[in-house]
Structure formats: C-alpha cells, structure tokens
Amino acid sequence: MPQDTFPPLHPVIQPEPTNMSESLLKAEQEGTSLLRQELLTARAALKQMDDLQAELAVERETGKQLVNFLEAAEQEARKVPILEQLLRQQDDIANTTATYPSGEYPIMQRPETP
C-alpha cells in the first residue's frame, strides 16, 4: 500500500494571512499606547489635584489662624481706653460716610487722653 492513502496524523491548520495578523497586532499596540498616554495624563491630573488640595488646606489653616490673631488683637485693643475710643470713632466714620457728599467729611477731634 502506498503511503499517500493514509490520512495525516495531525490536522493541517492553514495559517492566517500574515497581513491580517500584523494589522490586528498593530491596532492593539496603538490602542494600548493611547490608553497608556491617557493613564499618564489622568495620573498627572490627580497629582495636581492632590497638590492643590494640600495647598488649600494650608491656606485655610493660615486664614483661621489669622482671623483668631486679629480677633485676639482687637479684644486686647479694646482693653486700652484710647484705642477703644479710636475704634468707636472709626466705626462712626464708617457708618456716616454714606451720608456725606463725595470727598466731604466732618472734622474729627482727637480723643482726650486720660
């Protein structure tokens, strides 16, 4: 019997056309590259947001400390009679500036010292 009549031991697999495989691989590589770039961009944006949040927290704390300092300084200033009188005059001026024409203000006298 000739050998040609026996079926092959392994099925013959036809190779895919290489152009199609290469083009699919190239498309996958391009997609992966785009995704990698988007990931890097997103990471950079997140880092910037983290940095900004940290700066904002510092600014908030600094603002709170400044407000507390100014409130304490104002309370201390009210303990000194001359300063209290000056602060009252300043408040009076601020309350009456709307009633005077532009550029015209009443003459203020110096507070008396005790």
CA distance 108 to 112: 12
Residue 80 included in any domain? yes
Q: What is the mean pLDDT of the chain?
A: 79
Of residues 105 and 68, more confidently modeled: 68
Percent of the chain with pLDDT over 90: 41
Residue 46 included in any domain? yes
Residue 13 included in any domain? no
Residue 71 included in any domain? yes
pTM for the model stands at: 0.42
Q: Predicted confidence band at 95 (pLDDT cuts at 50, 70, 90)? A: confident
Residue 4 included in any domain? no
Number of domain units in the chain: 1
Domain span at residue 26? Answer: 20-98
Contact 113, 86 (CB under 8 A): no
Residue 38 included in any domain? yes
CA distance 70 to 63: 10
